[in-house]
A and B are shown apart, each in its own frame.
Chain A
Amino acid sequence: RFCTSNMASRRSSEKSRTGTDKYSVLLPTYNERENLPLIVWLLVKYFGESECNYEIIIIDDGSPDGTLEMADQLQKIYGSDKILLRPRAKKLGLGTAYIHGIQHATGNYIIIMDADLSHHPKFIPEFIRKQKEGNYDLVSGTRYKGDGGVYGWDLRRKLISRGANFVTQVLLRPGASDLTGSFRLYKKEVLERLVEKCVSKGYVFQMEMIVRARQLGYTIGEVPISFVDRVYGESKLGGNEIVSFLKGLLTLFATT
């Protein structure tokens, strides 16, 4: 609706830049054959309803389960202007997947999200509205505020999540409530600059992105989201993740 009104205002010869806004969704995938058609269907549904200009860039890292073949079918259904396939030969990590995706993105805004259905596309219109509301440099989904929340987490998982978040808030004071979430909307040039600066991997990468964003003086908006843990496939939070999280946290503590 808000994108339509922008189109309308453009037609009334008020040459506003917002009328030409385009949103590029980056979907890094690895073995998401089951989820990919569903997430794409949902993206098309909600972008269609909001009448925003968009494209979906699928960056598959050589999944052995045929994710790419599935992406190919989806491209045939929805068209190569909406679905772009930018596969890579093997698993090369999230940071480089974003760089790779940005290079091929034609939108002036980039949305990054997980392809495993834990991030629901219904929130994207809210992200866009929020971004326009304060002309924010980035808008981050948050599980920890307002109506935000999770589904499928037991007490242990919730405790670790809240505890880690509290420690991080105390040590880094990042000015954002959800640091490890990866459902975000960025201005393209902001994402480019941040990706260049960030070196961490995994959970810590998302945290570093938002901490450095604050350090560089970018403005951050937040939208509460419900996080529905992986419907298909395994989600894990073991000792290794916790150790690497703590290492990453201390690194950021000492360097930012």
Chain B
Amino acid sequence: MTKLAEWLFGISVVGALWGVVTFDLLGLRLPAAWQEVAWPMPVYLLVAFGCYSLATVGYRVATFNDCEEAARELQEQIQEARVDLRRKGLRF
């Protein structure tokens, strides 16, 4: 199953459940409170997911390591390499 198919399958299952509860498709005579909660649920979920996404990406951008030390080490090693390679007879 491709990722696309997995997503479609997942969305269909959730969508079907939502339809059953909201519109009482199977005639289950569910409590009215259930319907009231279920009806706006897709929007709530979308908003919640959006918030989670923004928070996660924001946090990860803010905590993205700046490797200053690695850059400095590399610069030093470049100088060292140049000297050593020249000694070994390399023409740059």
Q: What 0/1 readout, one digit per residue, does chain B (52-92) give for beta carbons within 8 Å of chain A?
A: 01001100110011111011001101100110110011111
Which A residues lie within 8 Å of B53 (CB)? 166, 170
Known: A42-B81, A77-B90, A254-B4. A158 touches B74 (CB 8 A): no
The reply to whether B74 and A117 form a contact with Cβ atoms under 8 Å apart is yes
Instruction: Tally the A-B contacts, defined by beta carbons under 8 Å.
Output: 86
B residues contacting the other copy or chain, number (CB 8 A): 29
The 8 Å CB contact of A37, one of B2, B57, B71, B81, is: B81
Within 8 A of B (CB), among A153-169: 153, 155, 158-159, 161-163, 165-166
Q: Give the interface SS of chain A, mostly helix, strand, loop or mixed.
A: helix
Q: Which segment, of A15-23, A97-105, A127-135, A226-234, faces chain B?
A: A226-234
Known: A42-B77, A151-B68, A231-B74. A77 touches B57 (CB 8 A): no
CA distance A42 to B85 in the complex (A): 11
Shortest distance in angstroms between A181's beta carbon and chain B's nearest beta carbon?
14
The reply to whether A150 and B81 form a contact with Cβ atoms under 8 Å apart is no
The 8 Å CB contact of A150, one of B57, B64, B90, is: B64
Shortest distance in angstroms between A125's beta carbon and chain B's nearest beta carbon?
15
A residues contacting the other copy or chain, number (CB 8 A): 38
CA distance A249 to B82 in the complex (A): 41
Asked if A173 lies at the interface with its beta carbon under 8 angstroms from chain B, I say yes
The reply to whether B61 and A150 form a contact with Cβ atoms under 8 Å apart is no
Q: What 0/1 readout, one digit per residue, does chain A (165-207) give for beta carbons within 8 Å of chain B?
A: 1100011110000000000000000000000000000000000
Q: Give the interface SS of chain B, mostly helix, strand, loop or mixed.
A: helix
- What would 26 A/B residue contacts be, using CB atoms closer than 8 Å? A37-B85, A37-B92, A38-B77, A41-B84, A42-B77, A73-B91, A77-B89, A120-B70, A149-B64, A150-B65, A150-B66, A155-B61, A158-B61, A161-B64, A162-B60, A163-B57, A166-B53, A170-B53, A228-B67, A228-B70, A231-B74, A231-B78, A253-B2, A253-B4, A254-B2, A254-B3
Known contacts A38-B78, A144-B60; can you find 19 more A-B pairs with CB under 8 A? A38-B81, A117-B78, A148-B65, A149-B65, A150-B67, A158-B64, A166-B57, A171-B3, A172-B3, A173-B3, A226-B65, A228-B71, A231-B75, A231-B78, A253-B2, A254-B3, A254-B4, A255-B2, A256-B2
In the A-B complex, the 8 residue pairs with the smallest Cβ-Cβ separation, listed nearest first, are A149-B65, A226-B67, A226-B70, A41-B81, A151-B71, A151-B67, A149-B67, A162-B60
A interface, CB within 8 angstroms of B: 37-38, 41-42, 73-74, 77, 117, 120, 144, 147-153, 155, 158-159, 161-163, 165-166, 170-173, 226-228, 231, 252-256
